[in-house]
Amino acid sequence: MDSAARQTSILTRLRASGRVDVAELAAELGTSEMTIRRDLDGLADEGVLRRVRGGAVSLLKRGDELPFALRELEASDAKRRMAATVAGLLHDGEAVVVDSGTTGVAVAQAIAGRRLTVMPLSLHAIPPLAADPATTLLVPGGTARFGEGTLVGPMTEASLAALRFDTVVLTCCGLSARDGVTAHDLQDAAVKRAAVASANRVVLVAEAAKLARTALVVVCPVTAVDTVVTDTDAPEDAVAQLQAAGVQVVRA
């Protein structure tokens, strides 16, 4: 198991119990205690845990996001598959908003070089979209959230309100038929709402784990979403509830 996979496993256990033990992790993950200590030290540097004797405890409160670099490690293969599926739903010539977050960056990478007009809502998505002249890149104004690169604030919302797009590729922190599309950050949620309001079609991309979560801020009800692209691990009951609400669900 490589470092990324180990850290993902550690984060899963940390989220579940709030505390992890070095010896137990070493046994469960089939590696040495020294390797686990190095992994925990790295995660401590990211600010998600505090080292204690024999292990670590979580520093994440309910509603806190993992740092961007760590979220990139989560379900990376699923994100690439979902991004490729989203790319297949877009037609050349469309004007598209690509939302922020690690999944949004994966979508930007998947559509780079396509004959599309694209407005990304993350600084991380700009380089791949700017690499080929076939793609027309629209860069909104706004304030970049430190570490996240997410563009937020009145300037970003105004940029979206001034245009009309064919499709918004939306990301989220949580999704359910009851609670709708949810996000952790108030400013990010406001930008997502503006993106939804500016587009004729809403395609939401969410890995399976997000179908079991509800974050703090409501972005929109599921009835505002046309298509959900998720992965093959999506819970059957959650998928059925979304379909009953009239949402098309595509698994990648």
For the domain bounded by 71-251, which CATH number is listed? 3.40.50.1360
Three-state DSSP at 17 gives: helix
For domain 3-60, give its CATH number from 1.10.940.10, 1.10.10.10, 3.40.50.300, 1.10.443.10: 1.10.10.10
Distances (CA, A) of 174 to 28, 99, 102, 127: 29, 14, 14, 27
Rounded to whole angstroms, the Cα distance separating 130 from 58 reads 38
Tens of each residue's pLDDT in the chain, 252 residues: 778 778 878 887 887 788 999 999 999 999 999 999 999 998 888 777 889 999 998 887 655 566 666 666 565 788 999 999 999 999 999 999 999 999 999 999 999 999 999 999 999 999 999 999 999 999 999 999 887 899 999 999 999 999 999 999 999 999 999 999 999 999 999 999 999 999 999 999 999 989 988 999 999 999 999 999 999 999 999 999 999 999 999 999
Beta bridge partners of 119: 97
What global pTM score does this model have? Answer: 0.78
Domain with CATH 1.10.10.10 in the chain: 3-60
Domain with CATH 3.40.50.1360 in the chain: 71-251
